[in-house]
Amino acid sequence: MNRTFKTAKVQLLMVGEGHDTGINRSFSHVDENATDDQIQKLGALLETITSDKFENATVTSSYRVDKK
């Protein structure tokens, strides 16, 4: 089987006033090789432009799998 990367997205859970259980902020077209550090920095960036706090992230990658 041949596996080809198609797309990745990241969903960051942000907790703050008015949404104590969290609100998800989603970003599409994330680089296939995005590192944990880069995702952490994205969460930190969102903290600077909102009053929310970054809790965690879910990264979803999509691949196309073709038979040989």
Determine the structural domain holding residue 38 and report its residue range: 2-66
pLDDT digits (tens, 9 = 90+) for 12-53: 999 999 998 999 999 999 999 999 999 999 999 999 999 999
Residue 63 — very low, low, confident or very high, per pLDDT cuts 50/70/90? Answer: very high
In the prediction, which pLDDT does 34 show? 96
| Residue 68 pLDDT | 85
DSSP one-letter string for 4-44? EEEEEEEEEEEEETTEEEEEEEEE-S--TT--HHHHHHHHH
Q: Provide the number of structural domains found in the chain.
A: 1
The confidence score (pLDDT) of residue 12 equals 99
